[in-house]
Amino acid sequence: MSIFVDDATRVVVQGLTGSQGRFHGLRNREYGTKIVAGVTPGKGGTDVEGIPVYDSMKEAVEVTGADTSFVVVPPPAAPEAILEAARAGIRLVVCITEGIPAQDEARVVNTLKRDYPSTRLVGPNCPGIISPGMCNIGITPGDIALPGGPVGIVSRSGTLTYQALYELSQQQVGQTTCIGIGGDPVPGTSFIDCLSAFEADPATRAVMMIGEIGGSAEESAAEYIASSMTKPVVAYIAGQTAPPGRRMGHAGAIVSGSAGTAKGKMEALGAAGVRVAKNPTEAGEIMVEIVHGI
């Protein structure tokens, strides 16, 4: 099994006619994802290599029965694209767009929670989500993922998402779903959202969590793990050698005083029973050990 997406997921690419939307949309389709439509206002009636393009999400959903959106549009247009998908009844929106102002992100996330609670946003500024062998939405290279589980992966870092997949696949340890939640200050989906879904997924038997400096999401996740997770969790926190007071990486990777440090996050996770690795390779090695012992 998997979380959030599977082989029945039907995807509309918002921005399919743009260069990035075309590249990633066709790449996802080649992987096996059901890309059923594209949306670009003013280009309805055209197609991209056989994928029909519509002027609006409402029309695309009505005609194709799509339930998921892949947003690949520039920052000024992304907030409205996300909300248009929600208004059309889309259950999952995956937005890879980088550079959306934090104020706009906060407005969109709060609007979804208030007016469209059945729509989940993954991102923005994330690599997307892949359930190996079933569905890939975003920019994750499908060839480094291995179907069959039993590990679920959730990560704030795009690049380290890929490394986690690669490390496990090289050891013939498959994944149920790998989801990059993004490193912006206001993500649509949290660590806890993913941990809860993995806990409920019978095919996921262990979870790898990749965090980074800044914010308090990892500390909140540690509290959830301590109180609600029965499955083993392995974690790695990026930024362990970051100079004090230096702003680094994602917009969310901002350390203020003692809050948001790698040391603090690692201690909180360790206290929750999580096995915390010193580097990404060690995280993979620990997970392989756990999986072989399950």
> Given this model, what pLDDT does residue 88 score?
98
Q: Are residues 275 and 202 in the same domain?
A: yes
Q: Would you say residue 203 lies in a domain?
A: yes
| 145 lies in the same domain as 289 | yes
Name the residue type at position 85.
Answer: A
The catalytically annotated residue of 250, 260, 276, 277 is 250
Q: Are residues 116 and 151 in the same domain?
A: no
In angstroms, the Cα distances linking 49 to 27, 35, 99, 135, 159 are 12, 11, 29, 19, 30
Output the pLDDT for position 50: 98
Whether residue 56 is found in the same domain as residue 181 = no
71-74 CB contacts, 8 Å cutoff, 24+ apart: 71/14, 71/15, 71/95, 71/96, 71/97, 71/123, 71/124, 72/13, 72/14, 72/15, 72/16, 72/18, 72/20, 72/21, 72/24, 72/25, 72/96, 72/97, 73/14, 73/15, 73/18, 73/21, 73/97
pLDDT score for 32:
98
Tokens 């290599």 identify what position?
Answer: 49
The whole-number pLDDT of residue 241 equals: 67
- Looking at the structure, do residues 71 and 189 belong to the same domain, yes or no? no
* Dihedral sign from CA coordinates of 69, 73, 75, 80: negative
Enclosing domain of residue 191: 141-293
Q: What is the number of structural domains in the chain?
A: 2
152 shares its domain with 242: yes
CA–CA separation, 187 and 165 (whole Å): 22
- Other C-beta atoms closer than 10 Å to the C-beta of 233 total 25
> Which of 70, 95, 122 is a domain's end point?
122
Considering the domain architecture, whether residues 60 and 146 belong to the same structural domain is answered as no
Same domain, 273 and 146: yes
What pLDDT, on a 0 to 100 scale, did the predictor assign at position 288? 95
Nearest Cα residue to 10 out of 129, 97, 91: 91
Q: What is the CATH number of the domain that holds 54?
A: 3.40.50.720
Structure tokens at 110: 């709060």
Question: Does any domain span residue 3?
Answer: no
Asked if 100 and 182 sit in the same domain, the reply is: no
- pLDDT block averages, 10 residues each, the chain of length 294: 95 98 98 98 98 98 98 97 98 97 96 98 97 98 95 93 94 97 93 98 98 90 98 92 59 53 92 96 95 86
Residue type, 10: R
- Look at residue 213 in the predicted model and tell me its pLDDT: 85
The pLDDT score that the predictor gives to residue 242 is 65
Give residue-wise pLDDT tens across range 84-126. 999 999 999 999 999 999 999 999 999 999 999 999 999 999 9
Can you read off the two tokens belonging to residue 211?
A: 């965090």
Residues 210 and 75 in one domain: no
Give the helix/strand (H/E) hosting 268.
helix 262-271
pLDDT at 256: 47
Q: Other CB atoms closer than 10 Å to residue 90's CB: what's the count?
A: 25
> Do both 65 and 187 map to the same domain?
no
Do 160 and 264 share a domain, yes or no?
yes
Question: What CATH number did the domain enclosing 169 receive?
Answer: 3.40.50.261
What's the pLDDT at 214?
83
250 as an active site residue: the answer is: yes
